[in-house]
Amino acid sequence: MDAISVIRTKRDRGELTPEQIDWVIDAYTRGEVADEQMSALAMAILLNGMNRAEIARWTAAMIASGERMDFSSLSRPTADKHSTGGVGDKITLPLAPLVAACGAAVPQLSGRGLGHTGGTLDKLESIPGWRALLSNEEMLHVLDTTGAVICAAGDGLAPADKKLYALRDVTGTVEAIPLIASSIMSKKIAEGTGSLVLDVKVGSGAFMKNIEDARELASTMVGLGTDHGVRTVALLTDMSTPLGLTAGNALEVRESVEVLAGGGPADVVELTVALAREMLDAAGIKDADPAKALADGSAMDVWRRMIAAQGGDPDAELPVARERHVVTAAESGVLTRLDAYGVGVAAWRLGAGRARKEDPVQAGAGVELHAKPGDTVTAGQPLMTLHTDTPEKFDYALKSLEGAWDIAPTGTAFTPHPIVLDRIA
């Protein structure tokens, strides 16, 4: 085998053989295939696609590059969830303890934010003492004793994906559906969960801007999970407007705790409960009511135990940014649009996200919303508050918000987007 012949096959719209796929993934992981060669192959895949057999073999080769976890010793069925990323998407934080409170074990391997989309680990690291890096033994212990764990994937889990993801991010090939699907599913299958629910975001704040692309990605991932014996379901959910009222690390943790306490924004609660029901059904748990577990405090109890088990203090004060800037409405009327992408970029520019994986983030930075589409606003009323430790970033963040919302005359009828757009199983 050689890299050039593999690249030429896909460049010329041919189908890669199983042997070619196995070799190129293994050789790239070992360093025999150079970054520039894998970059060329990734671009050929972006432009010419892969069929289901190629994607399945590519995913299997990524899984085979590392270890596979085993949760068979647990007394509960396992269920996991993955979101393709959005703005204000803090759903994992209340969801994992909620599903655990209903009887499933939730081994949630999460990632960090990059660009305008937030990362679950960055959010949780705003809690004093909390740590994302656990050994496999520590992860299993937390899962066994609390019912849920949220942590970083270890270096031994699909190392080929870790290397390829970093390359895709700097070569303009992140959007390739075969590579997105195999990246997500290789980690989730290697993780060893028995069932998986996918939250595939659609809209301006998501990687998938239109529902056709989102449906293709969801169908591909559901097929991959099914082929590998993992019961997999996908929900397509709206990401044209930010979820909840916050985008930023500590801001989103605070809002998640409100949800666990029985309050919080209605859209966050609705999606959390909808995903919880899907996860419980996929795990074979039919008699639990996640809405009740939110209301009676049992999900909050699991949250507190889970945070403490990973070194965090669930009672500690969360970081607050030193500087604030209030953005007000220029006119009165009905807020009819609030662009998720604009808000996400603003939060990123304020310091809540990173441009490169090694960049630090500000725990208190982000955007706090005071109105959502459908709300009536008056001229001079605060629409949002920007938070940062570095006030020189305000002007840069404000540029991303230019044209990010529409206000129609008072009395204008408004029909909200449904949160759940479709279900694929």
Task: Tell me whether residue 69 is in a domain.
Answer: no
Q: Measure the CA–CA gap between 208 and 158, rounded to whole angstroms.
A: 24
* Residues 401 and 368 placed together within one structural domain of the fold: yes
Query: How confident is the model over 369-379, as pLDDT tens digits?
Result: 999 999 999 99
Task: Tell me whether residue 64 is in a domain.
Answer: no
Q: Are 203 and 209 in contact (CB under 8 A)?
A: yes
We report the CATH number of the domain holding residue 95 as 3.40.1030.10
Pairing of strands 420-424, 366-369: unpaired
* Residues 221 and 85 placed together within one structural domain of the fold: yes
Tokens coding 79? 């269920």
* Residues 123 and 150 placed together within one structural domain of the fold: yes
pLDDT of the residue at 357: 65
* Residues 248 and 276 placed together within one structural domain of the fold: yes
Task: Tell me whether residue 260 is in a domain.
Answer: yes
Q: Which phi and psi angles does 237 have, rounded to 5°?
A: -130, 150
Task: Tell me whether residue 314 is in a domain.
Answer: no
* Residues 111 and 227 placed together within one structural domain of the fold: yes
* Residues 223 and 292 placed together within one structural domain of the fold: yes
* Residues 304 and 335 placed together within one structural domain of the fold: no
User: Which domain covers residue 39, as residue numbers?
Assistant: 3-49
* Residues 367 and 282 placed together within one structural domain of the fold: no
Last residue of a domain, one of 252, 282, 309: 309
Q: Are 401 and 342 in contact (CB under 8 A)?
A: yes
We report the CATH number of the domain holding residue 35 as 1.20.970.10
Tens of pLDDT, residue by residue, the chain (425 residues): 899 999 999 999 999 999 999 999 999 999 999 999 999 999 999 999 999 999 999 999 999 999 999 898 999 999 999 999 999 999 999 999 999 999 999 999 988 876 788 889 999 999 999 999 999 999 999 999 999 999 998 888 899 998 998 888 788 888 899 999 999 999 999 999 999 999 999 999 998 999 999 999 999 999 999 988 999 999 999 999 999 999 999 999 999 999 999 999 999 999 999 999 999 999 999 999 999 999 999 999 999 999 999 999 999 999 999 999 999 999 999 999 999 999 999 999 999 988 766 778 999 999 999 999 999 999 999 999 999 999 999 999 999 999 999 999 999 999 998 999 999 99
Which residues make Cβ contacts (< 8 Å) with residue 67, sequence separation at least 6? 154, 156, 157, 190
* Residues 400 and 286 placed together within one structural domain of the fold: no
pLDDT of the residue at 118: 81
Last residue of a domain, one of 258, 278, 309: 309
List the catalytic residues.
Answer: 82, 161, 168, 183, 187
Q: Measure the CA–CA gap between 210 and 212, rounded to whole angstroms.
A: 6
Query: How confident is the model over 304-321, as pLDDT tens digits?
Result: 999 999 999 999 999 999
Task: Tell me whether residue 420 is in a domain.
Answer: no
Task: Tell me whether residue 245 is in a domain.
Answer: yes
We report the CATH number of the domain holding residue 333 as 3.90.1170.30
How many structural domains comprise the chain?
3
* Residues 147 and 185 placed together within one structural domain of the fold: yes
User: How far lies 251's CA from each of 59, 100, 314, 333, in Å?
Assistant: 36, 24, 15, 27
* Residues 252 and 381 placed together within one structural domain of the fold: no
Q: At what angle do helices 35-48 and 159-169 cross, to 10 degrees?
A: 80
Task: Tell me whether residue 70 is in a domain.
Answer: no
155 by Cβ neighbours in 10 Å (0-12 / 13-18 / 19+) ranks as exposed
Task: Tell me whether residue 317 is in a domain.
Answer: no
pLDDT of the residue at 420: 97
Instruction: Return the number of other C-beta atoms located less than 10 Å from residue 254's C-beta.
Output: 17
* Residues 123 and 190 placed together within one structural domain of the fold: yes
Q: Measure the CA–CA gap between 280 and 13, rounded to whole angstroms.
A: 41
Q: Measure the CA–CA gap between 119 and 196, rounded to whole angstroms.
A: 19
